Amino acid sequence: MVYFLKMQNTNFFESFIENLFNGKFLKNFFLSQYTSFRCGGKVKYLIFPETIDEVKKIIEISKKYKKDFIFLGKGTNVLVSDNGFDGIVISSLKMKKKTIEENKIVCECGLEISEILNICIKNFLTGLEFLSGIPGTIGGAIKNNAGLKTKWISEKITYVEYLDVENLEIIKKERKDIYFDYRRSGFKNEFIWKVEFLLEMEKQEVIKKRIREYMKERIKKQPIGYSAGCIFKNPYPYYAGELIEKCGLKGYKIGDCHISEKHANFIINNGKAKSKDIYSLIEVIREKVKEKFNIDLELEINLIGDFQ
């Protein structure tokens, strides 16, 4: 009887989703096709809302039918379990509305960083060039306070609008009221919806030159291949990559993945690695760094699903 009721609820849920999000809904989708690591199992439901009201509706339905849900941008900062995720992934990739007024850009979370840099070039706006080469979306960049050692996306923000998933209210916060720190922010489970950037006017040639210079530096320092960028946050005042290298772990392999010889804070999937292999490398790194330096490395990437 319990099984029958569960099946009935699932059927009602799927019918509702299919009717409401026709053409914006995928079932049993392999997240290995979605993420930059190119590994991981299936997600039960993948939905692409186009408005904040649609995001609200998905959350309402998820709560009603007791379905777990997560938010995902471009999938460049995550590792998905081989067992997948038996819930709902709410993708922001179709939420790309924007407005430009003088030296201000207001945009939604699904815009990719490369897209907003192109917008900046077309509108003679400077200030975000240091984000060049970061493959994610604006929403993810804000949540993780993306940037370099001395430049952060939070420095260019005037306000953020986000959806509180508990009460489904849209809240607007000024920059001064939002916690930002190295590779982190005060945002946890909220859905970051919209942001305003305050920039400066500049010639297109100057902006393009700066973008090329930042890209050149990023290419020089970062390895090529299927990865999720830096695996660990730098434990101030040290650098995670340096600690990993001093443990002699550059090139260390498990399965079809290895710790990069170019930058030890990168794990590269050579093409056929399983998520469990990458997670095993993460555990090896943590163990060796703890053993040698008594430092607990904190993940910069997010884990989705069960890794136990």
Cβ atoms of 126 and 202 closer than 8 Å: yes
Q: What is the pLDDT of residue 178?
A: 97
Per-residue pLDDT band for 9 (boundaries 50, 70, 90) equals: low
Q: Are residues 66 and 131 in the same domain?
A: no
Strands 85-91 and 42-47: parallel
Average pLDDT over residues 201-215: 98
Average pLDDT score over the chain: 93
The residue among 91, 125, 145 that closes a domain is 91
Domain end position, chosen among 91, 109, 138: 91
- Mean pLDDT score, 103-123: 98
pLDDT (tens digit per residue) in 156-170: 999 999 999 999 999
Q: Is the pLDDT of residue 4 over 70?
A: no
pLDDT in tens, 125-176: 999 999 999 999 999 999 999 998 889 999 999 999 999 999 999 999 999 9
| Whether residue 5 has pLDDT greater than 60 | no
Clarify whether residues 195 and 110 are in a common domain.
Answer: yes
Structural element, H or E, at residue 72: strand 69-72
Q: Is residue 235 part of a domain?
A: no
pLDDT in tens, 18-56: 888 888 889 999 999 999 999 999 999 999 999 999 999
Q: Mean of the pLDDT values across residues 45-70?
A: 94
Question: What global pTM score does this model have?
Answer: 0.91
Expressed as residue numbers, the domain containing 50 is 2-91
The pLDDT, as a whole number, for residue 7 is 42
Kindly state the tokens that stand for 264.
């030890």
Whether residues 158 and 246 share a domain: the answer is no
Q: Is residue 118 part of a domain?
A: yes
- pLDDT in the model for residue 277: 98
Q: Is residue 227 part of a domain?
A: no
pLDDT at 275: 98
Q: Does residue 230 sit within a domain? A: no
Q: Residue 291 sits in a domain of what CATH number?
A: 3.90.78.10
In a domain, 226, yes or no: no
Q: Which of 47-56, 61-70, 214-223 has the highest mean pLDDT?
A: 47-56
Q: What is the mean pLDDT of residues 265-280?
A: 98
The last residue of one of the domains, among 193, 221, 249, is: 221
Specify whether 79 is located in the same domain as 116. Answer: no
Least confident of 9-13, 48-52, 57-61, 187-191: 9-13
Look up the CATH number of the domain holding residue 8.
3.30.43.10
User: Does some domain include residue 160?
Assistant: yes
Residues 209 and 290 in one domain: no
User: Cα–Cα distance between 120 and 99 in angstroms, integer?
Assistant: 12
Query: Same structural domain for residues 86 and 102?
Result: no
Neighbours of 192 (CB within 10 A): 23
pLDDT band at 88; cut points 50, 70, 90: very high
How many domains, in total, are found in the chain?
3
How deeply is 218 buried, as exposed, middle or buried, from its count of CB atoms within 10 A (0-12, 13-18, 19+)? middle
Q: Is residue 153 part of a domain?
A: yes
58 located within any domain:
yes
Q: Is 10's pLDDT higher than 80?
A: no
Pair 138, 195 in one domain: yes
Q: Which of 162, 71, 150 is nearest to 108 (CA)?
A: 162
208 neighbors 124 (Cβ within 8 angstroms): no
